[in-house]
Structure 1
Amino acid sequence: MWTRRRLYSTATATISQKSRYKPVIGLEVHVQLNTLTKLFSRCPTSEAPPNRRVLPFDMATPGILPKLNRQCVHRALKMARILNCYVPEWSRFDRKHYFYADMPAGYQITQNERPIAKDGVFGFWVFDEHLEKAYWKEVQILQLQLEQDSGKTIHLTESDETGPPKSLIDYNRAGCALIEIVTSPCFETAIEAIRFVQTLRLLLIHHNLCDGELHKGHMRVDANVSLSKDHIKGTRTEIKNMNSIRTIHTAINFEIARQFEILSANGQVINETRAADSMGRTVPMRDKEVETDYRFMIEPNLPKLVIKEEWRRQADEELEKEGKADFEWLRDVIGFDARSAVHIAEEPELLTFVKRCVRHKDSTVTADEILYWMRELKIIMQRSKVNYPPQRYSGRELGRFTEFFYSDFFAKQFTTLISCQHRLTRLRLLELLRLYATGEYVEDVLEFIEANSFWRITSPEKIDEFVEKSMKKDAKLAEKVRNGHAKSFNRMRNLIVDSSEKCIELEDVETAMRRFLDRK
């Protein structure tokens, strides 16, 4: 039985054997703009039951003319700035003819030869658990074009009592504004491709250009994949309409492995369009041996789109006002590594907690220390069956402590403990984290430590007193320790640590025990 894990491992193993073959990958990312109305009609874009967000123009009713949505142009200019694209003085719209049931007019209004932006360069960090260190990658953006979306076709795979299988069409999406981002074929791995999409998604969400939910179709990715050998271009295949990071990663790896197996057997890769199934395997959709003639023509009902200088200035001013995205702030300002910054930014509750920690931390606490203790905190909370990250209180009633106050309060105690980590033993710090994460204490952690004398004991004389007292208290166990019994030594060490309220480090106890045994 095929699983995603098996698909990935098979593809990875095959790629590692591919000798002189080099993957060549290009992406086309379709971004659905989050404007209130569609690209050429005043129809709302809000969610609704099927076919409730449709106006006459969206259904290609004769005599209804398009009217360009100014907000779509504004968002396109902001995106062009983010991708460092050149914006010409004017662009135009074209008709791209093809006949699908979900395209009522029989053509799509898009931009072909004169897109709104082109020739961009976009840089991002590439990271993975299998890479020793992250590296910087720059991608050439060939063009950025405004276009209409099509409707959504739902295929009913099982027949019902009334007849054979059917396909249903929801036209709510028809006419919504898309921006298609076309990259050069400069990606060499699936990891590079998904890091590009991840980074782009976070930027688009931050700058309020797209809602960024891939599973809802807000971003749909096509990948062109081929294998070149000795600088000779291979035959490319296109993987259409991928709507999750996981699917993009798995499908590209699968396609590279599939093509390599064909070429290794002296076969020929067919120029075709493929889709990714639920397991991430690519399956044929249609061949592309015959180049499709889309019969492009200039859209006669729309004039040239002349870009005004004030529009460019407004886009620049908004971007400057919006500042860095959360992952950029975490990486460039706070000091998190690229992988952790993206991971945190993709998890809203985790991001909220980290922001509160950063607000409360002092200058001695580093980003690496926050990451380390967050990993420890996650283990503690999972073992205590408490939700991680700590956003809401799930234990006993705290009365006046609201959810926000408690999570903010805990973030402050958490960073305070990190700043005190060299004055506390590891075991005591972990125990304090558990107590506060589960809501057992609501007082300031420094006051709690002072009241219970929980600071680390470092004086050799005091440690020797704990050792001698414990050895005398449990004479039988002490005798086994003197006879060199390793398990008894560890047991006695743990008893001594417990007797000190976990205020002595394990290593210090071991040193003191050996010193005690040498004297005897």
Structure 2
Amino acid sequence: MLKIKFFKLCFKRFVNTQTTGVTPNVKIEAIIGLEIHTQLLTKSKLFSFAPVHSDAASNSVVSDFDLGVPGTLPSLNKECVQKSLCASLLLKSEIQKVCRFDRKHYFYPDMPFGYQITQQDYPISRGGSFSYYVDDPDKRYRTQTVRLKQIQLEMDSGKTIKADENRLYIDLNRAGVGLIEIVTEPDFHSGADAATFVDQLKMLFVENQICAGELHKGNMRVDANISLCVDGASYPRTEIKNISSIRLMEKAIEKEIKRQTKLLKEGKHIDPVTLQLDETGQATVARSKGDDLDYRFTPEPNLPRLVIESTWVKEAESRLKNSLEYERYIHHYHMKPSAAIELVKNDEKFNFVQKTLPKVNITAEGYFKFLKELEHACGHVAVRFPPNSNGFHHSFVQLLNAFNKNLITKLVFIDLVKRYLQNNIKISVEETIEKEGLKRLHINDHKFLQYFYEICEKNSKVVEKMKSTTGKPQQKAFIKLRNIIVTEANKRISIEDAETAITHHFGVKI
């Protein structure tokens, strides 16, 4: 009896000290771990010859084994093993020489066997890590590393579809599809970090053809385990199951952190529960952690221990692609990780950038500002962005290089972009600049000063108002004079040069 009281006291002190509210200045830290269930991109399922087709009609790609028909036996798909080895190598996870399949017993309508074949105690690999990029305002980017516990190979369940309050439909097309489950250490502290990790992990797997990466189709599903740590004391953990959207994952985790924090500050208990997300992204309690089933893990009797041969590992190594395109844009072109990743996700835009950026003599930062100008120009002239014409690619490069050499102003650049988009010009950029007299007038040029004095003389009233007033009236006159100078010079004088000339000659600033 004394021992029981002692353990209860310890549990209350170190695990669940929630009976009083948390003081305002105390440090509260979220502790988050993930389980990523990743469907392997193979032609057939893990233990049967049934094909894998995510878009097939319901229950049309199901074998007798997938249905759990008595007397049917599993036949291990070597390609699933190879894909799991590739994932293990990419994540620096130690491949085990011998692994074993187990039965995880539970009953659910979309699991006809009454158990799942998985790897509990002897997974295909242990440990490992994955480093991902995060935006950093001070250094442009930083990397964060997440430790992994293990990677295990297992079969997927079917899909339960809710018809109405009284009926559920079962689609077993997914039943038996090969999965790897990647279990991380609780190294995340925000929903944004967890979402960034999964996004970049997905891209690595898609590039290496391990997974299709379509979360909305269930190719990847994430379980998030969330708890709070207050001054070293850990509180009960909740779990959000089957998150199928990276954006939704970030929001759901942040919402759960806020919910738990609110409970602590109010001196209430955090119940260890399993949550599930509905169609709107709202989390509801599925069950209490105290109600978790004893899965009664037992070795799978119909599959021998799996001995990983060294030739399999070498074959997996030969398939790998460790570096991704967005990393080149981060390191070589000095882009922020979020911008680089968004770029490579947009195939058409990425294709345009690949064909033009390496050919321009301008910084990547400057290039992307002008790419935004191109997008606005496309909107003005009703042309699809980005343009896919090779002829325009060439003209765009010429225009950017002409601007970078100070041959044209930004306004002339924009005008010419619109005209080249509409195919109103059939000659090269340099010929157009020369033929139409569009060369930029620089502030120290004799012709610039001639234009400047002539325009100021013709607009003496505006000049006088600018000189004789202050505040907003002066600012308006300044801007009006600047715009007149730029317009009458056919945009060959830049806005910046016009402002500098006015300030220098009249001593007025806006």
- TM bin, normalised by shorter chain, reads 0.7 to 0.9
The one-letter code sitting in structure 2 at the alignment partner of 1:506 is: I
Between stretches 173-182 and 482-491, larger displacement belongs to 482-491
Partner of 1:491: 480
Asked if 1:139 is matched to 2:149, the reply is: no
- Write out per-residue CA displacement over residues 462-501 of structure 1, whole angstroms, 9 at most, x where no aligned residue: 1221123224445554554564563334223212211222
Segments of 5+ residues of structure 1 without an aligned counterpart are: 1-14, 159-164, 393-402
Indicate which of 97, 104, 117 corresponds to 1:96.
104
5 Å matches for 1:274-353? 274-319=275-320, 322=321, 324-353=323-352
Shift of 1:424: 2.8
Match of 2:61 in 1: 53
Give the match for residue 9 of structure 1. Answer: none
CA offset at residue 250 of structure 1? 0.5
Amino acid at match of 2:401: T
**How does 1:55-94 map onto structure 2 within 5 Å?**
55-94=63-102
User: In structure 1, what residue type is equivalent to 2:418?
Assistant: R
Q: Please tell me whether the aligned partners of residues 395 and 429 of structure 2 are also in contact (alpha carbons under 8 angstroms).
A: no
1:510/1:372 Cα in 2 relative to 1: closer, same or farther (>3 Å)?
closer
What is the 5 A alignment of 1:50-449? 50-127=58-135, 134-157=141-164, 165-319=166-320, 322=321, 324-361=323-360, 364-388=361-385, 390-392=386-388, 403=389, 405-406=390-391, 408-409=393-394, 412-413=397-398, 415-417=400-402, 419-420=404-405, 422-449=406-433
Of 136-145 and 277-286, more deviation after overlay is shown by 277-286
In the alignment, structure 1 residue 44 sits paired with structure 2 residue 43: no
1:192 corresponds to which letter in structure 2?
A: D
Partners of 2:179 and 2:209 lie apart in 1 by 14
1:505 aligns with 2:504: no
Shift of 1:184: 0.4
Q: Distance in 1 between matches of 2:136 and 2:259?
A: 23
Higher mean alpha-carbon deviation, 457-466 vs 172-181, is at 457-466
* SS of equivalent to 2:169: strand
SS in 2 for 1:248: helix
Q: Distance in 1 between matches of 2:435 and 2:30?
A: 63
1:257 to 1:41, Cα distance in 2 relative to 1, 3 A: same
In 2, Cα distance between the equivalents of 1:124 and 1:202? 11
Q: How far 1:128 moved relative to its partner? A: 7.4
Q: Is the 8 A contact 1:464 1:516 kept in 2?
A: no
Q: Write the letter of the residue equivalent to 1:274.
A: L
2:127/2:149 contact within 8 Å kept: yes
Pair 1:470-2:455 in alignment: yes
**1:128/1:256 CA distance change after superposition, 3 Å:** farther
Supply the distance in 2 between the matched residues of 1:42 and 1:276 (Cα, whole angstroms): 33
| 1:280, distance to aligned residue in structure 2 (A) | 3.3
Distance 1:264 1:318 in 2: 52
Partners of 2:59 and 2:173 within 8 A in 1: yes
The 3 A distance-change label for structure 1 pair 95 and 332 is same
Distance 1:144 1:36 in 2: 21
Query: Is contact 1:370-1:418 (8 Å) kept?
Result: no
CA distance 1:468–1:239, shift in 2 (3 Å): same
> For each residue in 1:230-255, what CA deviation from the matched residue of structure 2 results, as whole angstroms up to 9, or x when unmatched?
11111000000111111101000000
Q: Deviation string for 1:425-468 (max 9, x for gaps)?
A: 23223333333345544543233223323232113421221123
Q: Name the CA shift for 1:439/1:326 in 2 (closer, same or farther; >3 Å).
A: farther
Contact 1:477 1:492 in 2 (8 A): yes
Secondary structure of the equivalent of 1:195?
helix
Call closer, same or farther: CA 1:318–1:286 in 2, change over 3 Å. same
From the superposition, tell whether residues 516 and 256 of structure 1 become closer, same or farther in structure 2 (CA, over 3 Å): closer
Contact 1:357-1:414 within 8 A present in 2 as well: no
- Give 2:42's match in structure 1, choosing from 35, 42, 51: 35
**CA deviation string 1:25-64 (max 9, x = no partner):** 0000111111111111111112211111111111011121
How far off is 1:310 after superposition? 1.2
Question: 1: distance between equivalents of 2:281 and 2:234?
Answer: 25
Alpha-carbon separation, structure 2, partners of 1:407 and 1:266:
65
Retained in 2: the 8 A contact 1:247–1:276?
no
Residue deviations 1:274-298, cap 9 Å, x none?
A: 0123443321111111442111111
Alignment match, 1:24: 31
The 1-side partners of 2:302 and 2:426 are apart by 67
Paired AA for residue 343 in structure 1: E
TM-score between both structures, scaled by the size of structure 2: 0.87
Q: In structure 2, what residue type is equivalent to 1:455? A: K
Q: Report the Cα offset of residue 352 of structure 1.
A: 1.5
Equivalent residue of 1:134, what SS?
Answer: strand
SS of the residue aligned with 1:99? coil
Q: Shift of residue 140 of structure 1?
A: 0.6
Closer, same or farther in 2 for the Cα pair 1:19/1:56, shift >3 Å? same
Q: Provide the rounded CA distance (Å) in 2 between the counterparts of 1:365 and 1:425.
A: 15
Cα RMSD after superposing both structures? 2.5
Identity of aligned residues (%): 36
Contact 1:128–1:339 (8 Å) recurs in 2: no
Quick one: structure 1 residues 166 and 464, their matched pair in 2 at CA, closer, same or farther if it must change by over 3 Å? same
In the alignment, structure 2 segments of 5+ residues that lack a partner are 1-21
**TM-aligned CA distance change 1:194 to 1:515, over 3 Å:** closer
Give the stretch that moved more between structures: 20-29 or 369-378: 369-378
For the residue of structure 2 that corresponds to 1:56, the secondary structure is coil
Q: 1:437 to 1:225 in 2, by over 3 A?
A: farther
